[in-house]
Amino acid sequence: MTVELNTGSVTAAALPPLSRNRNYHVLWGSQLVSELVSQLCLIAFPLTVLAATGSAARMGAVSAVIAAAHMAANVPAGVLVDRFDRKRVMLVCQCARAVAMASLAIALYAGHFSLAHLLAVAVAEGLLGAAFDPAEHAALPQVVPEEQLSQAVARNTARRYIATLLGPAGAGFLFAVDRMAPFAVAVGLLVASCVVLCFLRLPRPVPAGESESAEEPEKAGLLADGFRWVLGHPVIRPTLVWLMGCELVISALIIIVLARSGEGDLAPGQLGVMMTGFGIGGLLGAAVAGRLHAALPAPAVILGFPWTAAALTLLLALVPAGVPTGVVLGGIAFLIPTAFTTVMTYQLTVAPDELRGRLSGVVGLFAGGAGAVGPLAGGLLMSGGSSRRSLLICCACLAVVAVGTTLSPKLRRFPTLK
């Protein structure tokens, strides 16, 4: 099915280009800062714990705390976003994160390390970071016309890879300078984000009772509405299962590749080359995702991604570690932005404005849960066998996702939005 979207007399050609949309750039930049801070913290928190306590178990615990807080906050954050002004929610989140980070930076500068204090800041970072994401996702269709929504979503996918390339490396460098340096830089980034967000202009939302959507309930802000709508939607429901399957296997794949470096005598920097390949592949994929989304039918993207990823994972099991692994891993990452753009464009287009925050929260909960289980599964696979065997299992799992996608009538006929 092909759905043609038009805003009355205004055609896509008559719209100002996305590059001149100030509100979109404010949203894009603020979310990039949010993801960059999250990536900084992902490395800086465990390194700080390890340096202060020497305990690998405590180091792992603080990473788990951040992931658990982020996952637990997704759905309540979606409710919050749908009940209150989205700009205000984003500002409060960034300001509160800045205050929490500043308290930790000051304590470390003064030489007062407290594991309880660090864990409290880690929880705050997980909770507030989770609340920021649905607000930004829900605000996107308010500042971008429907005709440009897929282009905006495609450009947004680049942020993840930029943050992945810069965040961990930056955290390691800053930590080598001083333990408090990553958190001080995070404070500066968050303060800058708050200043930029002050210039964001969002249209006033339509009250729930005046919504043009006749099929949605008028109860804004109820937690159950988000689950009911997402799980009851005939297309989004199977898409959610598809997303969870892909996210679980891809996140397991990354852990297996990281662990693979310990099997042989890799030259210094080879592990970095492999992960850089993933980041560069994702950036290149994000650069062309908008054009690929426009050129390819949505079912071809939804069906093609798991089949192609399974084939590349099989190739990953056969090539030697190092640069060849980085190239193949980059090929997998190249496909992700187009798949994400296709899925998210559909979700944001069909969801009523008063439910977009909860949609993002529910999807984030399930995808985040799969993303948290994936690394654990990857670690268990590597503990019981070689990387080649583990990669072949991942290949088989992606093939199962691909077969399920092919057999699903809704996914085979996934709506194409142009």
Across residues 291-299, what is the average pLDDT?
89
7 within domain boundaries: no
224-269 per-position pLDDT tens digit: 777 888 888 899 999 999 999 998 898 888 878 877 765 655 555 5
DSSP letter at 351? S
211, pLDDT greater than 70: no
Whole-angstrom Cα distance, residue 188 to residue 351?
Answer: 35
Instruction: Identify whether 141 is part of a domain.
Output: yes
Of 22-26, 90-94, 132-136, which gets the smallest average pLDDT?
132-136
pLDDT band at 204 (very low <50, low <70, confident <90, very high): low
**Chosen domain end from 203, 235, 250:** 203
Q: What confidence tens digit (pLDDT) does each residue in 59-99 have?
A: 667 766 777 777 777 778 788 778 888 888 889 999 999 99
Instruction: Give counts: helices (H), strands (E), the chain.
Output: 14, 2
Q: Which residue has the higher pLDDT, 223 or 254?
A: 254
Judgement on whether residues 64 and 192 belong to the same structural domain of the protein: yes
Strand runs (DSSP E) across 293-361, as ranges? none
Do both 243 and 289 map to the same domain? yes
Query: Residue 253 maps to which CATH number?
Result: 1.20.1250.20
Confidence at residue 218, expressed as pLDDT on a 0 to 100 scale: 42
Q: Which amino acid is at 13?
A: A
Residues 400 and 368 in one domain: yes
pTM for this predicted structure: 0.71
Positive/negative CA dihedral, 70, 74, 80, 85: positive
Is residue 211 included in any domain, yes or no? no
Mean per-residue pLDDT, 273-290: 83
Chosen domain end from 146, 169, 203: 203
Q: Which domain holds residue 311?
A: 222-417
Return the SS3 of 12. Answer: helix
* pLDDT of 41: 84
Same domain membership, residue 407 and residue 307: yes
Total of domains in the chain: 2
Q: Minimal CA–CA distance to 200: which of 20, 21, 23, 19? A: 23
Same domain (yes/no): 229, 324: yes
Residues 232 and 157 in one domain: no
- Tokens (6 digits) for 200: 């964001």
